Amino acid sequence: MEQVDEHFIETVKGLDGVARGGDRAVLPPDLAPEEVLRLFDAQLGSRHLDLAARWLRGRGEGFYTIGSSGHEGNAAVAAALRPTDPALLHYRSGGFFLERANQVAGGSDPLRDVLLGIVAATEEPISGGRHKVFGRRDLAVLPQTSTIASHLPRALGVAFAIDRARKLGLEGEYPRDAVTVCSFGDASANHSTAVGAINAAVQVGYRGLPMPLLLVCEDNGIGISVPTPEGWVAHAYGSRPGLEYLAADGADLVDAVVTARRAADWVRRHRRPAFLHLRTVRLMGHAGTDVESAYRRAEQIAADLRRDPLLGTARLLVDTGLLTPAEVLDRYEATRSRVLDLAREVADLPRLGSAAEVVAPLAPATPHEVARVAAEAAPPERRAALFGSTLPEDEPPMTLAQSINRALLDVLAHHPGALVFGEDVAAKGGVYGVTRGLLRKAGAARVFDTLLDEQTVLGLALGAGVSGLLPVPEIQYLAYLHNAEDQLRGEAATLQFFSNGQYRNPMVVRVAGYGYQKGFGGHFHNDDAVGVLRDVPGLVIASPGRPDDAAAMLRTCAAAAAVDGAVCVFLEPIALYHTRDLHADGDDGWTAPYRPPAEWAEHHVPVGSARTHGEGTDLTVVTWANGLHMSLRVAARLAREGIGCRVVDLRWLAPLPMADVVREAEATGRVLVVDETRRSGGVSEGVLAGLVDAGFTGRMARVTSADSFIPLGDAALHVLVSEADVERAARELVRRGS
The CATH code that applies to domain 611-736 is 3.40.50.920
DSSP string, 48-66: HHHHHHHHHHHTT------
DSSP string, 648-712: EE--EEES--HHHHHHHHHHHSEEEEEEEEESSSSSHHHHHHHHHHTT--SEEEEEEE-SS---S
pLDDT tens string 651-660: 999 999 999 9
In the chain, the percentage of residues whose pLDDT exceeds 70 is 99
Dist CA 595 CA 547 (whole Å): 11
Dist CA 408 CA 480 (whole Å): 22
Say whether pLDDT at 679 is over 70: yes
The confidence score (pLDDT) of residue 20 equals 46
Say whether pLDDT at 363 is over 90: no
Strands 274-279 and 507-513: unpaired
Task: Answer with the residue of higher pLDDT: 528 or 351.
Answer: 351
Domain with CATH 3.40.50.970 in the chain: 33-349, 366-599
The confidence score (pLDDT) of residue 19 equals 45
| Domain 33-349: homologous superfamily in CATH | Thiamin diphosphate (ThDP)-binding fold, Pyr/PP domains (3.40.50.970)
DSSP string, 302-332: HHHHHT-HHHHHHHHHHHTTSS-HHHHHHHH
Beta bridge partner(s), residue 226? 223
Beta bridge partner(s), residue 138? none
CB under 8 Å to 336, separation ≥6 — which residues?
48, 51
Strands, DSSP E only, in 66-145? Answer: 87-88, 134-136, 141-144
Say whether pLDDT at 629 is over 70: yes
Say whether pLDDT at 510 is over 90: yes
pLDDT tens string 33-87: 999 999 999 999 999 999 999 999 999 999 999 999 999 999 999 999 999 999 9
CB under 8 Å to 229, separation ≥6 — which residues?
none
pLDDT band at 106 (very low <50, low <70, confident <90, very high): confident
The answer to which of 25-29, 394-398, 623-627, 644-648 has the lowest mean pLDDT is 25-29
Dist CA 405 CA 417 (whole Å): 18
pLDDT tens string 373-407: 999 999 999 999 999 999 999 999 999 999 999 99
Dist CA 120 CA 117 (whole Å): 5
Dist CA 237 CA 239 (whole Å): 6
The confidence score (pLDDT) of residue 22 equals 53
pLDDT tens string 127-181: 999 999 999 999 999 998 767 899 999 999 999 999 999 999 999 899 999 999 9
pLDDT tens string 306-341: 999 999 999 999 999 999 999 999 999 999 999 999
In the chain, the percentage of residues whose pLDDT exceeds 90 is 92
The answer to whether 372 and 600 are in contact (CB under 8 A) is: no
Domain with CATH 3.40.50.920 in the chain: 611-736
What average pLDDT does this structure show over 194-206?
96
- Is the whole-model pTM more than 0.85? yes
Dist CA 227 CA 304 (whole Å): 14
Dist CA 291 CA 301 (whole Å): 12
| Domain 366-599: homologous superfamily in CATH | Thiamin diphosphate (ThDP)-binding fold, Pyr/PP domains (3.40.50.970)
First to last CA, the chain: 78
Q: Give which of 274, 298, 260 is closest to 212, Cα–Cα.
A: 274
The answer to which of 142-146, 472-476, 527-531, 680-684 has the lowest mean pLDDT is 142-146
Cis amide bond preceding 655, omega within 30: yes
